[in-house]
């Protein structure tokens, strides 16, 4: 076995393709329905069937994959349940656009034919994101892949709907809902995106019907005034206590509407007189019910003014606003217009401004469900991590409103309600009814609406496992262990799964909810197509390799902190992957056979030290993953691999590996190298699965995939001296070598120049350590002579490094030309001072500081810090050199 088994350079694309094919062919992602092993399960947040991989998916699925691979290595029976969501509105829009390109509409082709078209599109294009997740290394149990419109999941949806209905938790009623005039459907509160927009506040006169005066009311939406059915004032408002009028004349109409008094009115807002439009405002709707007011819809579902608007009928709501304001002004009714920025709701799919609309819809009465979901978190049955999201969860759940679950589209789960055309009875059953149980009629019509997509998604943790059947899979893996998700669907999805999981299964759907942050660009800005700062995950994988990309995502996935994605960082971690590869190639040169048993009797200090560091690293990585501190796991591994293993251990072990210390020492070091390399690959595998698999598969003595390896057990090391003492002793050796290397750098001494050194130790213990490890120190620091003695006078003509428990002196006579080096440093300092002065001139220029973009200023400041640091180091080196020359 030799390093030639690994190619000279790591080629990620070829390795990734081959490794993933091997994993799937061997069924290494498969969970066991029933097993003696500890069960660990995650359900994937099902991406929309219309979706393509974006940075949020990349981060989310990297962390899920990390957890699943880690738990497999820990010996668990792991289920990562994959699947996609039918995404009702989004998918319908895609297929409607496709039909439009062919000159057709869904109404022209008809409902059944349209649904066939959607299924056809889904089969042809709907798996794109799944293939992209596989590119990222996602180790889902793909044989179990589900879709929210699968037959089994559809059965679960119908069963839950019927059960909730029969228990009085689903009802149909008139209510103000969020309506999208473009998509022609109701939207849940959470599907409305609010955006601050500049607006206007129109102050209008509403004259008293008896001619005794008028109210001035303020509104942001004059076009809705045609639906006003009252004006309300607060009963304690002193301005209006003496008013005797009982009605006002509604401008632009021939109607009179009542004056009502209610404590709901805010006396401080506007004039304290509130126009009440029950059909177009949720708060007015409640006020209207309380005072038994008429409800008048003033526009169609497409946002066009209807007959209630009189002469304005047929105008769009925007055009009506403009025309109505002009008419009000002409009639002297318009008092003034104020600028009034306010939050405007938009459809989360098509971005159309939402219209509050009175409509008959289906609702879930959620408070009884929410109360149990709140209690589950309060009692610790489910943890939300990071903790601060728990407060957000409570705030939303305590203020939850009934959930509008009907959608006026065709793609989705059809509401299982049939209406008898003869007697009007509602029939709600799991099986399609054929006759009306009330009158026996066979003239039944199914409700044309479909269920909100999130209704089926709320059942995901148990419906994907076969419920309502009592499957072994469900018995083994429910409740799931962990849910990894973004904060943006905490309410859309997580809270609803909590409610439905507890209702249906009488148990929480997951024990931990880990909420990750947002992936932003390198300047911390949110990625968007309009800003042109979107980074395509697949492009990053193509250029740098998936492992480098995954490690970057993990390294910056700190709890509660957004990830700033920089391609320079990915490039840096590509170097790390190459470092792992090259370290393995070097190791393979010395591992012609498996060295599975460590020869503790003959191991060196550096051997004991690296085993102690391996044990410490294993414990830290394990704790970090168990507590969802993914960035700490990555940081710990990076430090261990790059610095401990590559920079120090491989270098310090070369003498033994090349036989300079004897055969026994060589074999002992090989046994340690084998163990450390093997275990390090296992530790790395959850984050960088491809490179770890490729190296592990070629390591002597390994059989099968690294996915079948076991998480490292390091308990034996300390009993053989691989403990804190070894770390303390090796630390002294590292300090001495580092001190000597720093002197070389500071004094501009060529690496090839052998140096003479005197080490004055403060204690016999330190002296013994340095003496014992002298050969390692001399080899790594390139020394010709090294004398170890107790503390004495400082020799003349030396550069000094102070380390823990000792002073290290490097004799410089004959090594450097003091005058020449001083001249060189003085020239370098003069050049550096000029550079610093030039940058400071920019930073002191008020014109530049006020006009330059923030990122440009930040870049100049960074340049200043770097130049100043360089100047400080040059100055310090000059001072040291002059001190040595005088000495």
> pLDDT tens for residues 93-118?
889 889 989 998 888 999 999 999 99
Q: How far is CA 15 from CA 130, 135, 703, in A?
A: 20, 12, 18
Nearest to 137 by CA among 38, 49, 69: 69
Q: pLDDT at position 821, please?
A: 65
Same domain for 670 and 580, yes or no, is: yes
Whether residue 94 is found in the same domain as residue 231: no
pLDDT band at 4, cuts 50/70/90? very low
Q: How far apart are CA 583 and CA 412, in angstroms?
A: 54
Q: What average pLDDT does the segment 523-531 reach?
A: 76
Query: 873 and 762 in one domain?
Result: no
Are residue 511 and residue 617 in the same domain, yes or no?
A: no
pLDDT of residue 345: 83
Its domain, for residue 323, covers: 199-340
CATH (domain of 44):
3.40.50.620
Q: DSSP code of 304?
A: B
The pairs formed by 470-478 with CB atoms below 8 angstroms and a separation of 24 or more are 471/33, 472/33, 472/34, 473/31, 473/33, 473/79, 475/34, 476/32, 476/33, 476/34, 476/35, 476/39, 476/77, 476/79, 477/31, 477/39, 477/41, 477/79, 477/81, 478/41, 478/505, 478/507, 478/509
Q: Check: pTM over 0.75? Answer yes or no.
A: yes
Phi, psi of 276 (to 5 degrees): -110, 120
Are 751 and 875 in a shared domain? no
Q: Label residue 443 by pLDDT band (50, 70, 90).
A: very high
Q: Tell me whether residue 372 is in a domain.
A: no
Are residues 237 and 190 in contact, defined by beta-carbon separation less than 8 angstroms? no
User: Which residues, 6+ apart, have CB-to-CB distance to 813 below 8 Å?
Assistant: 797
Say how far apart CA 690 and CA 18 lie, in whole Å.
9
Q: What does the alpha-carbon distance between residue 172 and residue 163 come to, in Å, rounded to a whole number?
A: 15
pLDDT of res. 190: 59
For 471, residues 6+ apart whose C-beta sits below 8 A from its C-beta are: 33, 465
Shared domain for 53 and 98, answered yes or no, is yes
Q: Are 605 and 729 in contact (CB under 8 A)?
A: yes
Q: Where are the alpha helices (DSSP H) in 37-110?
A: 55-73, 88-101, 106-109
Using a 10 angstrom Cβ sphere, with 0-12 exposed, 13-18 middle and 19 or more buried, the burial of residue 98 is middle
Q: What's 642's domain CATH number?
A: 1.10.730.10
Q: How far apart are CA 410 and CA 89, in angstroms?
A: 9
Q: Is 254 a domain residue?
A: yes
3-state SS assignment for residue 857: helix
CB 186 within 8 Å of CB 197: no
Whether 136 maps to a domain, the answer reads yes
Residue 442 corresponds to which tokens in the numbers above?
């066979």
In a domain, 354, yes or no: no
Both 131 and 48 in one domain: the answer is yes
User: DSSP characters for 399-436?
Assistant: T---EE-EESSSSS-B--EEEETTT--EEE-SSPPSS-
Q: How many domains is the chain built from?
A: 5
Among the three residues 481, 504, 538, which one is the final residue of a domain in this structure?
538
Structure tokens given for 269: 């807002």
SS3 274: strand
368 in a structural domain: no
User: Does one domain contain both 272 and 250?
Assistant: yes
Pairing outcome for strands 563-565 and 519-521: parallel
Scanning the structure block, which residue is given the tokens 């083994």? 476
Lowest mean pLDDT among 151-160, 161-170, 812-821: 812-821
Q: Which of 173-177, 566-570, 752-756, 844-848 has the lowest mean pLDDT?
A: 173-177
pLDDT at 188 over 70: no
Q: Evaluate whether 193 touches 345 at the Cβ level (below 8 Å).
A: yes
Find out whether 200 is annotated in a ligand binding site: no
Mean pLDDT in residue range 34-40: 96
Look at the block and give the residue holding tokens 């009440």. 276
Q: What is the pLDDT of residue 565?
A: 82
Spatial contact of 601 and 721, defined as CB atoms under 8 Å apart = no
Q: How much is the average pLDDT of 146-157?
A: 94
How many of the other CB atoms lie within 10 Å of CB of 346? 18
Tell me: do 229 and 92 sit in the same domain.
no
Instruction: Please report, rounded to a whole number, the percentage of residues in the chain having pLDDT higher than 90.
Output: 67
SS3 label, residue 870: helix
Burial class (CB in 10 A: 0-12, 13-18, 19+), 834: exposed
Estimate the share of the chain in helix, then strand, then coil, as percent rounded to the nearest 5: 50, 20, 35
Handedness of CA 686, 689, 693, 695 (dihedral sign): negative
Q: How confident is the model at residue 887 (pLDDT cuts 50, 70, 90)?
A: low
Over residues 600-606, mean pLDDT: 95
Q: What is the pLDDT of residue 822?
A: 77
Cα–Cα distances (Å) from 261 to 226, 231, 232, 243, in that order, read 21, 8, 5, 11
Domain boundary among 340, 369, 386: 340
Whether 770 and 799 share a structural domain: yes
The closest of 753, 726, 727 to 741, measured between CA atoms, is: 753
Paired residues of 346 in beta bridges:
193, 353
Tell me the two tokens of residue 455. Answer: 């209704």
Burial class (CB in 10 A: 0-12, 13-18, 19+), 109: middle
Task: Report yes or no on 9 lying in a domain.
Answer: no
Cα gap 598→659, rounded to integer Å: 17
Q: How many CB atoms lie within 10 A of CB 702?
A: 16
Q: Taking residues 599-614, what's their average pLDDT?
A: 96
Rounded to 5 degrees, what angle do the CA atoms 451, 224, 330 make? 160
Distances (CA, A) of 629 to 66, 513, 624, 626: 12, 13, 5, 8
**% of the chain at pLDDT higher than 70:** 98
* CATH code at position 855: 1.10.287
Q: Which of 706, 697, 779 is nearest to 736 (CA)?
A: 779
Find the CATH number of the domain harbouring 284: 3.90.740.10
Spatial distance between the Cα atoms of 704 and 683, rounded to a whole number of angstroms:
17
**Averaged pLDDT for residues 768-781:** 95
Distance (Å, whole) CA 24 – CA 803: 53
The values of phi and psi at residue 22, to 5°, are -65, -45
Give dist(CA 676, CA 610) in Å, integer: 8
Q: Which residues of 601-627 are buried (b: 16+ CB within 10 A; e: fewer)?
A: ebbbbbbbbbbbbbbbbbebbbebbee
- Model pLDDT, residue 1: 31
Look at residue 2 and tell me whether its pLDDT is greater than 60. no
| Contact between 477 and 35 (Cβ < 8 Å) | no
Look at residue 722 and give its three-state secondary structure.
coil
**CA distances, 499 to each of 65, 367, 395, 461, 510 (Å):** 26, 10, 15, 12, 12
What is the reported pLDDT for 88? 87
Does pLDDT of 3 surpass 50? no
Quick one: 462 and 591 in the same domain?
Answer: no
DSSP state of 443: -
The verdict on 586 and 662 lying in the same domain is: yes
Say whether pLDDT at 580 is over 70: yes
What whole-number distance in Å separates Cα of residue 596 and Cα of residue 672? Answer: 9
Q: What average pLDDT does this structure show over 450-471?
A: 96
What is the SS3 assignment for 122-189?
A: HHHHCCHHHHHHHHCCCCCCHHHCEECCCHHHHHHHHHHHHHHHHCCCEEEEEEEEEEECCCCEEECH
In a domain, 280, yes or no: yes
- What is the spatial order of strands in the sheet that 798-803 belongs to? 783-790, 755-761, 806-811, 798-803
The mean per-residue pLDDT over the stretch 340-369 comes to 84
Q: How far is CA 723 from CA 606, 613, 668, 773, in A?
A: 12, 8, 17, 17
Please provide the average confidence, as pLDDT, over all residues in the chain: 91
Q: Where are the alpha helices (DSSP H) in 449-532?
A: 453-457, 460-463, 472-477, 495-505
- Show which of 779, 808, 837 is a domain's final residue: 808
Residue 44 lies in a domain: yes
Distance CA 220, CA 201 (A): 5
Q: Which of 220-224, 469-473, 690-694 has the lowest mean pLDDT?
A: 220-224
């Amino acid at each position: 076995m030799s390093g030639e088994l690994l190619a000279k350079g790591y080629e990620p694309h070829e390795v990734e393709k081959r490794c993933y094919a091997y994993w799937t062919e061997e069924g290494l992602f498969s969970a066991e329905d029933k097993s003696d092993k500890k069960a660990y399960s995650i359900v994937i947040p099902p991406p929309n069937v219309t979706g393509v991989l974006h940075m949020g998916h990349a981060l989310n699925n990297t962390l899920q994959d990390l957890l699943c691979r880690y738990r497999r290595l820990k010996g668990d029976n792991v289920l990562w349940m994959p699947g996609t969501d039918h995404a009702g509105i989004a998918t319908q829009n895609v297929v409607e656009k496709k039909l439009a390109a062919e000159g057709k509409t869904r109404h022209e082709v008809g409902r059944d034919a349209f649904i066939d078209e959607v299924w056809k599109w889904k089969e042809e294009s709907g798996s794109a994101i799944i293939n992209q997740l596989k590119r990222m290394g996602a180790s889902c149990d793909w044989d179990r892949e589900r879709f929210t419109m699968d037959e089994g999941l559809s059965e679960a949806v119908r069963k839950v709907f019927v059960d909730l209905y029969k228990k009085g938790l689903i009802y149909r009623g008139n209510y103000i809902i969020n309506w999208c005039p473009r998509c022609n459907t109701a939207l849940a509160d959470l599907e409305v995106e609010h955006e601050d927009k500049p607006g206007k506040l129109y102050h209008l006169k509403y004259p008293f019907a008896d001619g005794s005066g008028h109210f001035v009311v303020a509104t942001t939406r004059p076009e809705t005034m045609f639906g006003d059915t009252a004006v309300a004032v607060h009963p304690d408002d002193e301005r209006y206590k003496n008013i005797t009028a009982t009605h006002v004349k509604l401008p632009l109409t021939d109607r009179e509407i009542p004056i009502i008094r209610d404590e709901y009115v805010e006396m401080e807002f506007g004039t304290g007189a509130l126009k009440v439009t029950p059909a177009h405002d949720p708060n007015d709707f409640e006020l209207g019910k309380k005072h038994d007011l008429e409800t008048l819809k003033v526009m169609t579902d497409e946002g066009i003014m209807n007959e209630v608007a009189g002469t304005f009928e047929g105008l769009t709501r925007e055009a009506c606003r403009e025309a109505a304001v002009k008419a009000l002004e002409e009639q002297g009714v318009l008092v003034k217009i104020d600028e009034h920025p306010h939050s405007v709701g938009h459809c989360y799919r098509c971005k159309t401004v939402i219209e509050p609309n009175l409509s008959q819809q289906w609702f879930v009465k959620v408070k009884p469900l929410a109360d149990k979901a709140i209690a589950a978190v309060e009692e610790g049955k489910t943890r939300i991590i990071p903790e601060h999201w728990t407060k957000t969860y409570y705030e939303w759940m305590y203020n939850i409103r009934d959930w509008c679950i009907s959608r006026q589209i065709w793609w989705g789960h059809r509401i299982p309600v049939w209406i008898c055309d003869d007697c009007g009875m509602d029939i709600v059953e799991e099986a399609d009814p054929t006759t009306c149980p009330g009158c026996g009629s066979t003239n039944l019509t199914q409700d044309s609406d479909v269920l909100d997509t999130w209704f089926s998604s709320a059942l995901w943790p148990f419906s994907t496992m076969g419920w309502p059947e009592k499957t072994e899979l469900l018995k083994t893996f429910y409740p799931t262990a962990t849910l990894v998700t973004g904060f943006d669907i905490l309410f859309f999805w997580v809270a609803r799964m909590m409610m439905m999981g507890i209702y249906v299964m009488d148990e929480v759907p997951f024990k931990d909810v880990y909420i990750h942050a947002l992936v932003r660009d390198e300047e911390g800005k949110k990625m968007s197509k309009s800003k042109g700062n979107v980074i395509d995950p697949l492009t990053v994988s193509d250029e740098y390799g998936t492992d480098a990309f995954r490690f970057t995502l993990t390294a910056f996935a700190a709890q509660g902190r957004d990830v700033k994605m920089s391609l320079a960082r990915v490039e840096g971690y590509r170097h790390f992957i190459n470092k792992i590869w090259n370290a393995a190639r070097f190791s393979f040169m010395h591992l012609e056979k498996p060295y599975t048993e460590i020869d503790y009797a003959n191991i060196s200090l550096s051997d004991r030290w690296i085993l102690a560091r391996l044990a410490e690293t294993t414990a830290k990585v394990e704790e970090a993953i168990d507590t969802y501190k993914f960035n700490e796991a990555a940081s710990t591994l990076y430090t261990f691999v790059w610095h401990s293993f590559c920079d120090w251990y491989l270098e310090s072990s070369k003498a033994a590996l090349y036989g300079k210390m004897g055969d026994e020492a060589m074999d002992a070091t090989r046994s340690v190298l084998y163990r450390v390399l093997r275990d390090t690959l296992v530790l790395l595998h959850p984050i960088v699965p491809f490179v770890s698999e490729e190296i592990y598969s070629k390591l002597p003595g390994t059989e099968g995939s690294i996915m079948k390896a076991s998480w490292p057990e390091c308990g034996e090391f300390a009993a053989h001296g691989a403990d804190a003492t070894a770390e303390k002793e090796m630390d002294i050796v590292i300090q001495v070598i580092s001190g000597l290397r720093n002197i070389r750098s500071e004094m501009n001494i060529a690496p090839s120049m052998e140096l003479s050194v005197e080490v004055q130790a403060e204690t016999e213990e330190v002296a013994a350590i340095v003496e014992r490890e002298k050969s390692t120190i001399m080899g790594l620091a390139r020394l010709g002579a090294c004398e170890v003695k107790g503390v004495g006078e400082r020799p003349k003509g030396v550069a000094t490094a102070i380390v823990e428990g000792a002073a290290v002196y490097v004799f410089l006579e004959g090594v450097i030309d003091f005058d020449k080096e001083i001249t060189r440093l003085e020239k370098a300092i003069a050049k550096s001072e000029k550079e610093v002065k030039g940058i400071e001139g920019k930073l002191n220029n008020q014109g530049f500081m006020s006009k330059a973009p923030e990122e440009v200023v930040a870049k100049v400041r960074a340049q200043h810090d770097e130049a100043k640091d360089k100047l400080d180091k040059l100055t310090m080196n000059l001072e040291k050199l002059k001190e040595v020359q005088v000495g």
